[in-house]
Structure 1
Amino acid sequence: MDKIRESLLKPSRTSKLERRGKLISLVSLSSICLVVIAIFIFIAFRGLATFTSDHVSLVDFVTGTVWNPDVEVNGQPLVGALPMITGSFLITILATALALPFAIGTALMMTDITPKMGTKILQPVLELLVGIPSVVYGFVGLTVVVPFIRDVFGGSGFGILAGTFVLFVMVLPTVTSMTVDALRSVPKNYRSASLALGATRWQTIYKVVLRAATPGILTAIVFGMARAFGEALAVQMVVGNAALMPSSLVAPASTLTSVLTTGIGNTVLGTVQNDALWSLALILLLMSLTFNLVIHFIAKRGELKQ
């Protein structure tokens, strides 16, 4: 009896492995959380230095239209970030709006119209577009899109419109893939019930499938906007990098990422110029956080509706 009791009380090899696995998972999760928190704290500390040093106010930074950190007027540097914020939002919204109809149409082809062709042809094409580096998109935009805009719409070819076309191609695979997942998550009995009631295939797609997949499609849109908002290299090559308020779609402009990538290597840490760039990085970080919160909100609303 004593031997049996000891064998029962003695931890088995499986339980030891489970404890080790839980410990490793906990350490890994804690490390990831600490890294994320450290990144937030570091960027916030560097980004807020622009406003804590009494050089410039937050309102002037966000609403100012002149970006020239090397010049001071009345003891305050000219660090108006509104042109870059406007350029980032314009390119993001236009590229996503342009990609959305193509993404929904392609997703419907892959799920409801010609699933076999979609799986064999369209899916590999989307995967290929995702795998192309950003610099390749930027180079194609520089050699093809910019001259095309210059010949058709006038101007130098650099600007919001060129960045929109380049980001449109880059965002399209992301939005399409997530839209496909949203359409495939719609239960098949929804389609069967609609067809059984006498609805045509297009009526079923428009009034049943798309409406049921709306939360997933909205998530794809926000995710695509987040992808476009943070793109740097490709946009930098075609937008013109002029820190001016966009006067037209074909006038040179700039984005938060383009100003960051071109200026961060030319400033000294701790100077006003460097702190202002870190403030732009903080805006980017806050916008990424906002996009993620919106995605989680849409996902929860979709779960509640279901």
Structure 2
Amino acid sequence: MNNKQDLKQVVNQALAEQKVPHVKLKKIGVDKVNVERLTKPSKETRQEYWGKGLTYAAIILIIALVVSIIGFIAVRGLSTFLQNHVNVFHFLTSTDWDPGEGKNYVGAAAMIVTSFAVTILAALVATPFAIAVALFMTEYSSKKGGHFLQTVMELLVGIPSVVYGFLGLTIIVPLIRNIFGGTGFGILSATLVLFVMVLPTITSLTVDSLNAVPNHYRQASAALGATHWQTIYKVVLRVAAPRIMTAVIFGMARAFGEALAVQMVIGNAVLMPYNLVSPSATLTSQLTSQMGNTVMGTLPNNALWSLALLLLIMALFFNFLVRFVGKKGQK
């Protein structure tokens, strides 16, 4: 009640101190002022509250979802070591993989080595092509040419993984079999398939990195007498190097987590690879091919969840690496 009386006094004082004669505010009496309406939240204020509430609810839901996924995978993955008493060092270093035979045959070293080999080789092959395409799109081509190449890259991103795997199975595997002999399945086939799959990701992010370089750097280099290629090599690429590294890491993360396409061309044999054309298996290919053949709660099932936990740890590592490289680039 005191607040309403104070508000009336403020309105009355404002009317009494009105100094503009042609504004007939004195006709507005204190009794005509809707104090209730002035003291209640407006429609815009209520919309502001609803907007903030929905935003915070969405954030809480996403955080809860992420924590739930990580917690669920961690609980299932650690069951191999806590319930089945598998030695962690043995799990990471042994190449014997047959969980149905007991805890002494739960070794993921072959799959870990193959996963890293495929990922690193795919990144090494794709990065030069991605940088070359990105340089052409940003430094040499016209706007129409750049838009055309951008459309092509977007089409490559939209192709499903199973299509890449099928093309690799029908084209790349027979080609490698005819050239190198053997079955044609192996790290080399998986590398070539992943090369095409990660190329659009690395290229798109590299284009954004090159476009982020200020134009006055190029102008200053040209003013000093540098050629176009010298400007690109000595200035543009060096300034954009941290962001390009981030693009490569994102491509590696995509390659490391790819499952279906790799499964179709790598051979799915849990063996330590002794060359690029011998059948082998990655963490993801073993998960997708064997998860439906195990019973929940058994050692074979828990061992597969441990592989999933290892994949989750690697995904978190790639995210940390991206942030680390990004901070180094800002400095």
TM over 0.5: yes
Q: Specify the code of the residue in structure 2 equivalent to 1:129.
A: L
Q: Note if contact 2:242-2:328 (Cα within 8 Å) is conserved in structure 1.
A: yes
CA contact (8 A) 1:147 1:157 kept: yes
Whole-angstrom distance in 2 between the partners of 1:169 and 1:194:
35
- TM (norm. structure 1) is 0.96
**Could you list the runs of 5+ residues in structure 1 that have no partner in the other structure?**
none
Q: How far apart are residue 12 of structure 1 and its match?
A: 1.6
Residue 206 in 1 paired to residue 233 in 2? yes
Pick aligned residue for 2:100 from 44, 64, 70 = 70
Q: CA deviation at 1:71?
A: 1.4
In 2, the alpha carbon distance for the partners of 1:233 and 1:37 equals 26
Asked if the contact 1:55–1:77 (Cα under 8 Å) also holds between the matched residues in 2, the reply is no
Please say if 1:248 is aligned against 2:275: yes
Indicate the residue corresponding to 1:258 in structure 2: 285
Match of 2:119 among 70, 87, 92: 92
For 1:42-89, what per-residue CA distance to the aligned partner results, in whole angstroms no more than 9, with x for missing partners? 0000000000024311000000111111113xxx34010000001100
* Contact 1:110 1:117 (C-alpha < 8 Å) held by counterparts: no
Quick one: distance in 1 between partners of 2:132 and 2:253? 21
* Counterpart pick for 1:42 among 53, 72, 85: 72
* Alpha-carbon separation, structure 2, partners of 1:97 and 1:111: 22
* Kept after mapping to 1: 8 A contact 2:84/2:299: no
8 Å Cα contact 1:109-1:115 kept in structure 2 = no
Equivalent residue in structure 2 for 1:31, among 29, 42, 61: 61
- The match for 2:314 is 287
Matched, 1:55 2:82: no
Q: What aligned pairs does 1:128-277 form with structure 2 within 5 A after superposition?
A: 128-277=155-304
Give the residue type in structure 1 aligned to 2:329.
G
Residues 232, 261 of structure 1: 8 Å contact kept: yes
| Counterpart residue identity of residue 92, structure 2 | V
Deviations for 1:209-258, whole angstroms, at most 9, x for unmatched residues?
A: 00110111010010000000000000000000000000110000000000
5+ unaligned residues in a row in structure 2: which ranges? 1-6, 9-32
Q: Distance in 2 between matches of 1:115 and 1:34?
A: 47
Within the alignment, does 1:101 sit opposite 2:128 as a pair?
yes
TM-score (norm 2): 0.89
Instruction: Tell me the matched-pair count.
Output: 301
Using the aligned pairs only, state the percent identity. Answer: 58
Q: Tell me how far apart the structure 2 counterparts of residues 154 and 90 of structure 1 sit (CA, whole Å).
A: 21
How far has the Cα of 1:265 moved from its partner? Answer: 0.3
Q: CA deviation at 1:183?
A: 0.3
**What is the root-mean-square deviation in Å for CA atoms of aligned residues?**
1.2
Equivalent residue number for residue 11 of structure 1: 41
Letter in 1 for 2:81: F
Whichever residue aligns with residue 41 of structure 1, its letter is G
1:115 & 1:223 partners in 2: Cα distance?
Answer: 28
- How far the C-alpha of 1:31 sits from its partner, in A, is 0.3
Stretches of 4+ aligned residues off by more than 4 angstroms: 4-8
- The letter for the 2-side match of 1:285 is L
> 2:114–2:282: 8 Å Cα contact kept in structure 1?
yes
Q: Higher Cα Rg: structure 1 or 2?
A: 2
Kindly indicate whether residue 22 of structure 2 is the aligned counterpart of residue 22 of structure 1: no
- Tell me, in whole angstroms, the C-alpha distance in 2 between the residues paired with 1:115 and 1:275: 55
